Structure 1
């Protein structure tokens, strides 16, 4: 059935205007983005099909180009659009961290880190360099792969912190397993970095683990 044949209150765009975006399902929001369907499926049905094929909205947006273009009804052009939307979301959250007192608003930090790290199938270790007001100066990925105490070189972290004139650092990485509990390697690496940075009076404010929909904070757990 064409979307135009649906009752007005059931059409995604009209529903959003009347009730707000939070009233729409994942498929309805995705249908607005897709705009059109394919032969035999309207935009909502195509959205539902894409979500079913990938298992979730998160997995759909985190699909590799190769996996994405295998899905029925989408191709390289839609992949580019998906990546552009994802990057806009990241930049929106990063801008918030730049403008607000980042460490004073942990939820803002969790939101930003979640969109950066959630859903990745490999581990990524990153650093957020903060100024004396705990606002974000710069973030960067330090390492990708299995994290252990030898994965990240303290000397390189110290050099970067001095380069950006950071007063504090928040470390973060993801656990693709979905288990948020810090591993022994996580603790050893954090202690190693904390000791190196203390020599130049730069404080490690937190180390946050993103695991699925959860974030675990070393600071909140009393591990710093």
Structure 2
């Protein structure tokens, strides 16, 4: 059963948030505010700027969840979508679905992200393979993969910084 979390509604950041929220409602409200901040930026200069949002949105799940940030050609965030959900240690991702959503949103670039429920953000062989496969597939329709981030509640890893893009 979810516990109610009291908050001070006088705080300007929480002006649209009810005074008592369940844990899940609080996480959803905080995620919405962080996404609003990302969308309002002129450009995302570093994928690390999205980490707080992605950790809050993905890291708490007990199974793997996969989402995508869609960006313009100037790296401005258009949208975030949660696209796939898997088991405790794997998620099947479909390049076709990501390409369709990117084209529908007129996105020029994406940041891929998923959680590791194990708490270890180091990429698996499957993570590296799927990143390479996704990058190659999206290149065919002129969509750049800027990064693939793996998040846990306490850490994160950029496959781009590790040289896997």
TM-score range relative to shorter protein = 0.7 to 0.9
Q: Greater CA radius of gyration, 1 or 2?
A: 1
> What is the total number of aligned residue pairs between the two structures?
149
State the partner residue of 2:135.
194
Counterpart selection for 2:49 from 87, 91, 108: 108
Counterpart selection for 1:166 from 104, 107, 116: 107
1:33 aligns with 2:7: yes
Structure whose residues are more often strand by fraction: 2
State the partner residue of 1:129.
70
State the partner residue of 2:80.
139
State the partner residue of 1:119.
60
Q: Deviations over 1:126-172 (max 9, x none)?
A: 11111112111111112111335xx1221121111110000100000
Q: TM-score, structure 1 length as denominator?
A: 0.61
Ranked by relative contact order (alpha carbons within 8 Å, sequence separation 6 or more), the top structure is 2
Cα distance in 1, alignment partners of residues 23 and 43 from structure 2? 27
Deviating beyond 6 angstroms after TM superposition, the runs of 4 or more aligned structure 1 residues are none
Q: TM-score, structure 2 length as denominator?
A: 0.82
Counterpart selection for 1:97 from 38, 47, 53: 38
Cα distance in 1, alignment partners of residues 38 and 129 from structure 2? 28
Instruction: Check whether the contact 2:131–2:164 (CA below 8 A) recurs between aligned residues.
Output: no
State the partner residue of 2:120.
179
Q: Which segments of 5 or more consecutive residues in structure 1 lack a partner in the other structure?
A: 1-29, 35-77
